[in-house]
Amino acid sequence: MLNQESYVILGDGCQIKGISNEAASLAGHWGLGKLIAFYDDSRISIDGDTEMPLLRTLTSVSKLLDGMLSVTTTIVYGSPNKANSYSVYGAALGEKEVEATRNNLGWPYEPFQVPDEVKGHWSRHTPKGSALESNWNATLAYEKKYPEEAAELKCELPAGWEKALPTYTPESPGDATRNLSQQCQQCLNALAKVVPGFLEINLRFGVREHGMGAICNSIALHSPGLIPYCATFFVFTDYMRGAMRISALSESGVIYVMTHDSIGLGEDGPTHQPIEHIASFRAMPNTLMFCPADGNETAGAYKIVVTKRKTPSILALSRQKLPELPGTSIEGVEKGGYTISDNSSGNKPDVILIGTGSELEIAAQAAEVLRKEGKTVRVVSFVCWELFEEQTDEYKESVLPSGVTARVSIEAASTFGWGKIVGGRGKSIGINSFGASAPAPLLYKEFGIIVEAVVDAAKSLF
Amino acid sequence: MLNQESYVILGDGCQIKGISNEAASLAGHWGLGKLIAFYDDSRISIDGDTEMPLLRTLTSVSKLLDGMLSVTTTIVYGSPNKANSYSVYGAALGEKEVEATRNNLGWPYEPFQVPDEVKGHWSRHTPKGSALESNWNATLAYEKKYPEEAAELKCELPAGWEKALPTYTPESPGDATRNLSQQCQQCLNALAKVVPGFLEINLRFGVREHGMGAICNSIALHSPGLIPYCATFFVFTDYMRGAMRISALSESGVIYVMTHDSIGLGEDGPTHQPIEHIASFRAMPNTLMFCPADGNETAGAYKIVVTKRKTPSILALSRQKLPELPGTSIEGVEKGGYTISDNSSGNKPDVILIGTGSELEIAAQAAEVLRKEGKTVRVVSFVCWELFEEQTDEYKESVLPSGVTARVSIEAASTFGWGKIVGGRGKSIGINSFGASAPAPLLYKEFGIIVEAVVDAAKSLF
């Protein structure tokens, strides 16, 4: 079992959140050694005095700990009128009370003035720190003699590491992207020396999604060389969305491997079928939302997310088997959106069909139908909106020429947000209600996420 | 303290979720009487065998209970090859194993055939049930004599109840919409006889958001006459999103009163400032997302949400003070989107400015600037997209004429989704990064959510 020293800072509010129980039960189960808590016992939470309305669960928590320092603290110590009161939790003291507090504490210094005594205390440590730093840098002279080992020590990705990723052709048998994702992980794991920080250790979190996300944040933030990925059903991001937002906000490059990406999961029914989730993450800042369509796109996503150490990534992966599509590529995924096929011979196509994930196949099939009827059709994979957004205007125009207003998008999810891509004339095929429990092909038919719907929508625009 | 009998069904997976701890600690704190658990101890969760990887917290949970029936169960009892195995958790048995199980259990009946013996057991109770029902209906003859009391008993809203809601004029002093929301609640509470089910009881959940949402779901589903509302910061919907999706999916009309609706909350900083949340709920099926701009719009939102017993509603409310705007109305809110001012004298305006919540004021101010320069400008409040979507095409065209492609939206949130409303030529002003910690006016300036930005965007479209 893990046996590193762990310190926990506990406030009054912390203990009543569900995530604390998830983390505490994992700590107990994993037998974490030297778990030491500092408990800031101010008896004030944002919901008021903790004595009265809130159950204080400290006693039960303390059984898990090897040591606990409980400090009975006073919130806004020294403030003559507001110390120990809830009113200071969410509001500044104000100029008058700050003045009264300074007088009360006998603090004569100007705002932001550090007293010499304090400065002296800290600067005493500067020579010691400088010596330690020089020493470390001298040790790193090692780097010149053993560059490969040094790169590994610093968890740097050496050139060409991405060659470890699998590639596929349309002749490959095809699979669920959740399985193709595992193939990528296995390739990276087998080459742990190539991607040194990619975590091979499998932590079993149970169904503690919120705790899982938070722990992965800590792993990623511990060092940029550690690359954690965690997995659950896509719909259960609802349980760990708080941790995922912290990934984005604190620039923690966690890889969220989210399987069962749509109604295509079938019989588990609407409680397990994501609808609004893709849109909800496309709207979240500093978050990459990938919907890979096959093996090449899954490998392409891994190529990117492993290097994105300051941005969390979400991979929405299918449970159902998908074919390898002609035209998909790792290089295409790096652009976020790209053309996988076009029979317009360099001219403007009659229509652009835009698909993501499992629906890229449907777009490709609809294109075949329309082409047989003499139409020129472009098929675009829109695997990661955020990466497409980062491309030059020229590139974007080359994929989605503004002169082509006949556009149809297809994605087995909420159509929310697609208006910007398909434009005022365009059509979006998706699902804006909850799903149902049935085999995937039946559900796709029932909700109209089918080739015929794409063909009809395209024809309505000619 | 609450003292109703409560039954809990516990599975193996249930106990490791954070929400269970939130609910259990509330049950203990509130001193719920007669809390009785049925524990289905199959030792199999979706993450595998619970003995090995998961801490079983049953012992600590049981201290809270007045009774517990722990049944050691066998998952897929009777299946000769798959009983007691994880493999059956997420996959059907298959035809062959179903056949083997039927043979093993000696079950000779056809699929969906109810044996006569079982049918007899149930139908024995029919006469008793019919008698009880007749008796109840006879008691309800009371209804004819005392119609008002009967309506209250059935928690029906009598005609004219909405007159209890406050109304405002531009001369009203203005306030934060979170305070205006409290005024509405007080009006409804004072008239508890008018809205009999509107919950006056204040349950203090602490910061257990997920538990709070789940408990409110239960209250709403208990009877359509009970109308629970719960409150926290809008950003903390990330903690209870699972419960909110269950509201939408199970048609539970919970009212989510979400304060601190944007970067306008100021100094708490980006951890407390919602950005993507409005978009994320607009994408969620069967959910009404309201962004009221002032007192009339807040009252309008309450008029609707109290009657929506099969759809959850979210009210995003400001911390900062807002003025009462000319042109806002309860009737307008009922349409979801409506014109609050227009100087085009019935012609097509030069530009349409669309605002929500605290930004409707900015849109109105920008309109004044443009009108002084001789432009015709329409200002539209887009307070609830879902209600606007329900209107007739004629109404929608009357508010957003397709001939007017010069459109500017302003909302202090992610611009994701606005493309559909403003169209290909239009511009959306918002914030697509995380916020920062500073007073609200400074943040609005820093992130460019200001009158000048709207005016400039409009001018770029003339």
- Residue A288 confidence (pLDDT) above 90: yes
**pLDDT value at residue A458:** 98
CB contact under 8 A, B47 and A206: yes
Pick the residue from chain A with its C-alpha nearest to B89: A268
Interface of B with A in 7-66 (CB under 8 A): 13, 16-22, 25-26, 28-29, 45-48, 53-55, 57, 60
The residue among A10, A12, A16 with the most chain B CBs within 10 A of its CB, best to mutate, is: A16
A202 touches chain B (CB under 8 A): no
Please say whether the beta carbons of A405 and A423 come within 8 A: yes
Same topology, domains A6-123 and A161-316? Answer is: yes
CB contact under 8 A, B279 and A279: yes
- More confident position, A162 or B322: B322
Please compute the mean of the pLDDT values over residues A360-388 and round it to a whole number.
98
Pick the residue from chain B with its C-alpha nearest to A210: B18
Contacts of B20 in chain A (CB under 8 A): 18, 21
**pLDDT value at residue A60:** 44
- More confident position, A60 or A385: A385
CB contact under 8 A, A25 and B45: no
Please compute the mean of the pLDDT values over residues A198-211 and round it to a whole number.
84
Please compute the mean of the pLDDT values over residues B34-54 and round it to a whole number.
63
CB contact under 8 A, A206 and B249: no
CB contact under 8 A, A208 and B18: yes
A271 touches chain B (CB under 8 A): yes
Please say whether the beta carbons of B213 and B230 come within 8 A: yes
Please say whether the beta carbons of B319 and B357 come within 8 A: no
Predicted-assembly ipTM surpassing the 0.85 threshold: yes
**pLDDT value at residue A386:** 98
Beta strands in A42-174, from DSSP E residues, in sequence order: 44-45, 48-49, 67-72
Domain topology for A6-123:
Rossmann fold (3.40.50)
Give pTM, 2 decimals: 0.90
CB contact under 8 A, A432 and B285: yes
**pLDDT value at residue B57:** 45
Contacts of A206 in chain B (CB under 8 A): 13, 16, 45, 47, 53-54
Pick the residue from chain B with its C-alpha nearest to A283: B276
Q: Average pLDDT over chain A, rounded to whole? A: 88
Contacts of B433 in chain A (CB under 8 A): 285-286
- Residue B117 confidence (pLDDT) above 80: yes
pLDDT band at A224 (very low <50, low <70, confident <90, very high): confident
Interface of B with A in 145-184 (CB under 8 A): none
Range ranked top by mean pLDDT from A182-196, B174-188, B428-442: B428-442
- Residue A253 confidence (pLDDT) above 80: yes
If residue B40 lies in a helix (H) or strand (E), which one and from where to where?
strand B35-41
**pLDDT value at residue A160:** 82
pLDDT band at B124 (very low <50, low <70, confident <90, very high): confident
A268 touches chain B (CB under 8 A): yes
- Residues of A taking part in catalysis: 209
**pLDDT value at residue A192:** 61
- Residue B64 confidence (pLDDT) above 70: no
Least confident segment among A98-107, A256-265, B122-131, B331-340: B122-131
A208 touches chain B (CB under 8 A): yes
For B275, left (φ over 0), alpha (ψ -120 to 50), or beta? alpha
The 3-state DSSP class for residue A99 equals helix
- More confident position, A71 or A148: A148
**pLDDT value at residue B196:** 67
User: How far is residue A285's CA from residue B270's CA, in Å, rounded to a whole number?
Assistant: 11
- DSSP string over A43-58: SEETTEESTTTS---H
CB contact under 8 A, B286 and A434: yes
Using CB atoms, pick whichever of B16, B22, B211 lies closest to residue A207: B16
B359-416 residue pLDDT tens: 999 999 999 999 999 999 999 999 999 999 999 999 999 999 999 999 999 999 999 9
**pLDDT value at residue A389:** 97
Active-site option among B162, B209, B324, B411: B209
Least confident segment among A239-248, B146-155, B179-188, B417-426: B146-155
Our CA-based measurement puts residue B57 at a distance from the nearest CA of chain A, in whole angstroms, of 8
Please compute the mean of the pLDDT values over residues A446-461 and round it to a whole number.
98
The residue among B280, B289, B388 with the most chain A CBs within 10 A of its CB, best to mutate, is: B280
Contacts of B285 in chain A (CB under 8 A): 275-276, 414, 432-434
Pick the residue from chain A with its C-alpha nearest to B28: A55
Q: In what order do the strands lie in the sheet with A313-316?
A: A229-233, A255-259, A313-316, A288-290
CB contact under 8 A, A416 and B267: no
Interface of A with B in 210-249 (CB under 8 A): 210-211, 236, 238-239, 241-242, 245-246, 248-249
Contacts of A57 in chain B (CB under 8 A): 25
CB contact under 8 A, A22 and B16: yes
Query: Distance between terminal CA atoms of chain A?
Result: 64
Whole-number percent of chain B with pLDDT over 70: 89
**pLDDT value at residue B88:** 76
If residue B211 lies in a helix (H) or strand (E), which one and from where to where?
helix B209-222
Active site residue B324: no
Query: Hey, how many other C-beta atoms are within 10 angstroms of the C-beta on A97?
Result: 18
Our CA-based measurement puts residue B326 at a distance from the nearest CA of chain A, in whole angstroms, of 31
| Residue A426, token pair as written in the block | 């365009």
B20-39 residue pLDDT tens: 888 888 887 887 767 777 77
Whole-number percent of chain B with pLDDT over 90: 60
Please compute the mean of the pLDDT values over residues B46-72 and round it to a whole number.
54
**pLDDT value at residue B266:** 87
Please say whether the beta carbons of A263 and A438 come within 8 A: no
Using CB atoms, pick whichever of A57, A282, A434 lies closest to residue B25: A57
Contacts of A251 in chain B (CB under 8 A): none
- List the domain boundaries for chain B: 6-123, 161-316, 336-459
Whole-number percent of chain A with pLDDT over 70: 89
Cβ contacts below 8 Å, chain A against chain B, sum to: 180
A9-49 residue pLDDT tens: 777 677 788 898 888 888 878 877 677 777 777 766 666 65
Q: Annotate B179-201 with b (16+ C-beta within 10 A) or e (fewer).
A: bbbbbbbebbeeeeebbbbbbee
Using CB atoms, pick whichever of B236, B280, B286 lies closest to residue A283: B280
Using CB atoms, pick whichever of A242, A280, A286 lies closest to residue B280: A280
Eight-class DSSP state of A351: E
Contacts of B424 in chain A (CB under 8 A): 423-424
- What CATH superfamily classification does A161-316 receive? Thiamin diphosphate (ThDP)-binding fold, Pyr/PP domains (3.40.50.970)
CB contact under 8 A, A48 and B204: yes
CB contact under 8 A, B283 and A205: no
Q: Average pLDDT over chain B, rounded to whole? A: 88
A55-71 residue pLDDT tens: 344 444 445 566 666 66
B158-213 residue pLDDT tens: 778 888 888 999 999 999 999 999 888 887 776 566 666 776 777 888 889 999 99
User: How far is residue B108's CA from residue B41's CA, in Å, rounded to a whole number?
Assistant: 29
CATH of B336-459, one of 3.40.50.800, 3.40.1390.30, 3.30.420.40, 3.40.50.920: 3.40.50.920
Interface of A with B in 306-365 (CB under 8 A): none
Our CA-based measurement puts residue A393 at a distance from the nearest CA of chain B, in whole angstroms, of 15
